[in-house]
């Protein structure tokens, strides 16, 4: 299937369950195509669960949801062995991480020890339970949510965990016309769950097409230039990792595919940079007090770096 048709089919089906958020859905699609994970940041009741669950339906993928809580153990995520009295054996009870699309709600409500169960899952696509390693489902995508206005009883995500997310997406409130349209459709009961409209095989073929997208040397230089600039910028406490460069590359190939091109252009990188870099860099407090944000610095860096022709 051609890339543009692939995206349009998804956007059209998602309209059944949600008003607006086309960019969020496009970024989720890019992430799925390039085997990335997504951190959704947004206040309660903004449609995060609705988007994630219905997105999984589209490909008939197995979906699971984990509500993270302060007293949770890593085994609540990964699974555990229990003793079966009838057979006298230890039997594996797989945890909710064994699904294709896993929604980890309020990821920062659980202590680092439990969050660390996600680190191996995110990078290795495997989990270790009592010394034995198990491969996760394929494809595997973690969608984590975080509420930006909660400050009590939450834990800052470790840098190593943040770095494993391809994108951080800030979900803003809908526009007024969108909220009005939502009310009307709620009133008329015209929201529906999405159906499966593509198979996992369609997804697999699209992923193969993404791998074939051409990337010019100038684009490699452009990615390197942007990411490396974050490491030497005086306004930042720390810059982005090589994993960020890698994610920019993979995501830009998926975006090129969805735009019906077989090569990456600088605009792909420009569009993706804020979603890929903002959670991996940190503005120094003195600049933060002046109202400068991570996104401002990224915009500035992009404006300064020469765009390849
Ligand atoms: N843009 C929208 N279009 C249609 N319905 C919406 C939209 N935004 C929110 N809703 C509705 O608001 C309700 C809450 O949505 P949902 O549970 O997905 O939010 P959430 O962001 O996951 O909240 P929480 O952080 O509390 O889990 C649902 O009934 C959903 O249908
Ligand atoms: Mg929710």
pLDDT tens across 274-293, in order? Answer: 999 999 999 999 998 999 99
Q: Is residue 204 part of a domain?
A: no
Q: Is residue 203 part of a domain?
A: no
Mean pLDDT of 76-98: 93
Question: From CA 230, how far away is CA 225, in angstroms rounded?
Answer: 9
**pLDDT of 212 above 90:** yes
Tell me if 182 CB under 6 Å of ligand 1: yes
CATH code: domain of residue 151? 3.40.50.300
Q: Are residues 104 and 180 in the same domain?
A: yes
Q: Are residues 121 and 180 in the same domain?
A: yes
Domain span at 24? 3-187
**pLDDT of 62 above 90:** yes
Q: Is residue 309 part of a domain?
A: no
Q: Are residues 178 and 224 in the same domain?
A: no
Tell me if 49 CB under 6 Å of ligand 1: yes
Q: Are residues 275 and 234 in the same domain?
A: yes
Tell me if 20 CB under 6 Å of ligand 1: yes
Q: Are residues 23 and 102 in the same domain?
A: yes
Q: Are residues 183 and 216 in the same domain?
A: no
CA of residue 49 to ligand 2 center, whole Å: 4
**pLDDT of 151 above 80:** no
CA of residue 171 to ligand 1 center, whole Å: 11
What's the domain count of the chain? 2
Mean pLDDT of 114-141: 92
Tell me if 54 CB under 6 Å of ligand 1: no
Q: Are residues 125 and 38 in the same domain?
A: yes
Q: Is residue 93 part of a domain?
A: yes
Q: What are phi and psi of 159, to 5 degrees?
A: -55, -40
CATH code: domain of residue 260? 1.10.8.80
Q: Are residues 17 and 113 in the same domain?
A: yes
CA of residue 77 to ligand 2 center, whole Å: 18
Supply the pLDDT for residue 64.
94
Q: Are residues 18 and 124 in the same domain?
A: yes
Q: Which ligand is nearest to the CA of 55?
A: 1
Domain end call among 187, 203, 238: 187
Q: Is 291 left (phi over 0), alpha (psi -120 to 50) or beta?
A: left
Could you read off the pLDDT of 244-274 as tens digits, one per residue? 999 999 999 999 999 999 999 999 999 999 9
Q: Is residue 197 part of a domain?
A: no
Supply the pLDDT for residue 157.
87
Mean pLDDT of 22-28: 97
Percent of the chain's residues with pLDDT above 90:
88
Q: Are residues 26 and 144 in the same domain?
A: yes
Supply the pLDDT for residue 309.
83
Domain end call among 133, 152, 187: 187
Mean pLDDT of 48-73: 92
Which pLDDT band holds residue 190 (cuts at 50, 70, 90)?
very high
CA of residue 237 to ligand 2 center, whole Å: 32
**pLDDT of 153 above 90:** no
Supply the pLDDT for residue 158.
86
| End-to-end CA separation in angstroms for the chain | 30
Supply the pLDDT for residue 280.
96
Q: Are residues 133 and 48 in the same domain?
A: yes
Supply the pLDDT for residue 154.
83
* Nearest CA residue ID for atom 27, ligand 1: 44
Q: Is residue 200 part of a domain?
A: no
**pLDDT of 152 above 80:** no
Cα three-residue angle 13-183-145, rounded to 5 degrees: 60
Tell me if 19 CB under 6 Å of ligand 1: yes
Q: Are residues 132 and 276 in the same domain?
A: no
Q: Which of 157, 305, 164, 219 lies closest to 297, judged by CA?
A: 305
* Nearest CA residue ID for atom 4, ligand 1: 18
Mean pLDDT of 162-181: 95
Question: From CA 102, how far away is CA 45, in angstroms rounded?
Answer: 19
């Amino acid at each position: 299937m051609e890339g543009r048709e692939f995206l349009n089919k998804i956007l059209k089906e998602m309209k059944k369950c949600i008003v607006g958020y086309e960019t969020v859905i496009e970024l989720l699609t890019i992430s799925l195509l390039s085997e990335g994970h997504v951190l959704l940041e947004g206040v309660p009741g903004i449609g995060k669960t609705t988007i994630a669950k219905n997105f999984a339906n589209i490909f008939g993928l197995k979906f699971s949801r984990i509500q993270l809580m302060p007293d949770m153990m890593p085994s609540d995520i990964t699974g555990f062995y229990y003793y079966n009295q009838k057979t006298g054996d230890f039997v594996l009870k797989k945890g909710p991480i064994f699904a294709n699309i896993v929604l980890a709600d309020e990821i920062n409500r659980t202590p680092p020890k439990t969050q660390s169960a996600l680190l191996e899952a995110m990078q290795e696509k495997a989990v270790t339970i009592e010394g034995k390693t198990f491969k996760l489902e394929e494809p595997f995508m973690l969608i984590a949510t975080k509420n930006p206005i909660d400050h009590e009883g939450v834990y800052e995500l470790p840098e190593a965990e943040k770095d494993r997310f391809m994108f951080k997406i800030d979900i803003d409130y809908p526009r007024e016309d969108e909220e009005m349209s939502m009310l009307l459709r709620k009133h008329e009961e015209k929201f529906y769950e999405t159906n499966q409209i593509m198979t996992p095989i369609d997804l697999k073929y699209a992923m193969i097409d993404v791998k074939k997208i051409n990337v010019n040397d100038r684009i490699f230089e452009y990615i390197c230039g942007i990411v490396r600039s974050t490491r030497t910028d005086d306004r930042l406490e720390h810059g982005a990792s090589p994993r960020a460069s890698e994610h920019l590359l993979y995501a830009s190939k998926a975006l090129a595919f969805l735009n019906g091109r077989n090569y990456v252009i600088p605009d792909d990188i420009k569009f993706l940079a804020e979603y890929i870099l903002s959670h991996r860099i940190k503005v120094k407090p003195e600049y933060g007090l002046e109202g400068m944000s991570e996104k401002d610095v990224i915009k500035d860096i992009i404006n300064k770096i020469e765009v390849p022709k």
